[in-house]
Amino acid sequence: EDLLIYGTKSWTFPQQDINLTLSYPSAFQSDKQTDYIEEYWITGFNVLLFVDSTESQGYINHGGIMQDSISLTFVCPNVNMLQYQFWLYGVAKSSEKIESSSLLQSDMC
């Protein structure tokens, strides 16, 4: 299992409703047809989301575990601050050995 992506970002702003979407591959990567980008099966992810509200929700709106893409959306109403950390894990589609037990684990809270 490889770490495919690690990302972090934070913002402060006047109070507003925020929709944050994290996607793999990104729209930029999807549009580029390059031979050197290896394709992966997504095996897991972790997201830490910090907001100054207790009413946020998160969901997978496209793709998912054991697929080659994923899109996660987080809806955060009436916030002034948002920060996230995102880890995405996968195995190369060309991998000869994939252990099914490791592919079924993900933390989604």
- 73, 7 Cβ separation under 8 angstroms: no
Q: Which residue has the tokens 């709106």?
A: 61
pTM score of the predicted model: 0.77
User: Average pLDDT for residues 79-101, to the nearest whole number?
Assistant: 85
- 1, 43 Cβ separation under 8 angstroms: yes
Going by pLDDT thresholds of 50, 70 and 90, the confidence category of residue 73 is: very high
Strand partners for 49: 84
Going by pLDDT thresholds of 50, 70 and 90, the confidence category of residue 26 is: confident
Distances (CA, A) of 108 to 44, 57, 69, 105: 9, 11, 17, 10
- Per-chain mean pLDDT for the chain: 85
